[in-house]
Amino acid sequence: MSGNRAVAYKEPGVVEVIDTDYPEFELKDGPGVNPANVGRKVPHGAILRTVSTNICGSDQHMVRGRTTAPAGLVLGHEITGEVVEVGPGVEFVKVGDIVSVPFNIACGRCRNCKEGKTGICLNVNPDRPGSAYGYVDMGGWVGGQAEYVLVPYADWNLLVFPDREQALEKILDLTMLSDIFPTGFHGAYTAGVRPGSTVYIAGAGPVGIAAAVGAQLLGAAAVLVGDLNPERLAQVRSLGFESVDVSKGDPGEQIEQILGVPEVDAAVDAVGFEARGHGADAGHEAPATVLNSLFTVTAAGGGVGIPGLYVTGDPGGVDEAAKVGSLSLRLGLGWAKSLSFTTGQCPVMKYNRQLMMAILHDKVQIAKAVNATPISLDEAPQGYADFDKGAPRKYVLNPNGYISS
């Protein structure tokens, strides 16, 4: 093989499809690659021909210029592929396997990986614990919005689907296992959702919808989803969840109208650091709004799951504090109510096999829930633009034609 095509971040608001190198079993220098990772050998890796690779809201933060991502960074951390080559250190994964790639890159050898904390692997990113494909400050592992991609530690990282034909038939569901389905489920799980729980989810994008589906799988009695976008709220209602329009004000009053009380047992932040204000402030960015509202509407002793992204560097932050990820939180309120909350990357491997089984046995239709929409690699720039405008869809790139129309 001699070539590859990929989606790259060029400047704020601009992505392009570029010609790039076919992967090798060595991490090369390039945009965003940590110097300590340049030349890193990957005999334990596999090269995949991409089956599907999704546009994520986390990618949008970079594309909007809201991170320190460098120009030329190849994007894409939600990857499903077919193994076409394996390194000499790969023992179990085979050429021809159809696999899901957890967006966390993990070595399987460090203390955190052995404890199941694969979102904060200690060995793959010289800067800090935790890594991901095609993402700023995550070590520089090349992204998978491409025709081909390298995956390190293949025997550890890859989830092999048991049947090729079945996998390709259900690919729009299975492609969600790389990130948003486990991430949404993680938000609900860490918030303490259990049978009979009432749950409020802030954000009706794909991760928020995935959190709602996850809460349903966990046995929630009532699932409410809040957003500002009318189209996304309509999608929430079409799926049988209750909608909360936060353009009308803080969610507590609407929660009370639905449940009879202004609080829920568990809450999930599926928005992150580009949050907008509620009510009259809905048009203005207010990064602490969602977290503070969740502290308010979660009942004493409840839990808050925070899969929404927060960063340590935001050039477009509303003030100097926000530019370094420092937010004005009502921690005193959270403390007084004995709330628990969980942040950080979802450790995808903790959930992906179980969620795969739920998909394969028709217990859940996550692709329908998030309105999965396949597009070609060349349509990626338009997909980014439409998603940025709030389209109630999850765009799935189909770079090699595996997904039939």
All domains of the chain, ordered by start, with CATH? Answer: 4-179+347-397 (3.90.180.10), 182-342 (3.40.50.720)
Express each pLDDT in 161-211 by its tens digit: 999 999 999 999 999 999 999 999 999 999 999 999 999 999 999 999 999
Residue-level pLDDT at 281: 85
pLDDT exceeds cutoff 50 at 1: no
pLDDT exceeds cutoff 90 at 282: no
Secondary element (H or E) of residue 255: helix 252-259
279: region left, alpha or beta (phi > 0 left; psi from -120 to 50 alpha):
left
Residue-level pLDDT at 164: 96
User: For 286-301, what is the mean pLDDT?
Assistant: 96
Residue-level pLDDT at 83: 98
pLDDT exceeds cutoff 60 at 133: yes
Express each pLDDT in 24-54 by its tens digit: 999 999 999 999 999 999 999 999 999 999 9
pLDDT exceeds cutoff 90 at 337: yes
Task: Report pTM.
Answer: 0.96
Residue 166 neighbours by CB under 8 Å, 6+ apart:
360
Largest CA distance in the chain: 63
Provide the residue type at 367 as one letter: A
Confidence of residue 102 (pLDDT cuts 50, 70, 90): very high
How far apart (Å, rounded) are the C-alpha atoms in residues 75 and 342?
27
Residue 404 neighbours by CB under 8 Å, 6+ apart:
none
Contact 337, 265 (CB under 8 A): no
pLDDT exceeds cutoff 90 at 355: yes
Confidence of residue 405 (pLDDT cuts 50, 70, 90): low
User: For 294-309, what is the mean pLDDT?
Assistant: 97
Q: Which of 29, 30, 25 is nearest to 42 (CA)?
A: 25
Express each pLDDT in 224-261 by its tens digit: 999 999 999 999 999 999 999 999 998 999 999 999 99
Confidence of residue 283 (pLDDT cuts 50, 70, 90): confident
Residue percentage of the chain with pLDDT more than 90: 95
Residue-level pLDDT at 404: 87
Paired tokens of 194: 């259990």
CA distances to 355, 368, 370, 381 from 213, rounded to whole Å, are 11, 11, 10, 29
- Give me the chain's average pLDDT, please: 96
Which of 1-10, 114-123, 180-189, 267-276 is least confident? 1-10
Residue percentage of the chain with pLDDT more than 70: 99
CA distances to 71, 77, 291 from 68, rounded to whole Å, are 9, 17, 24
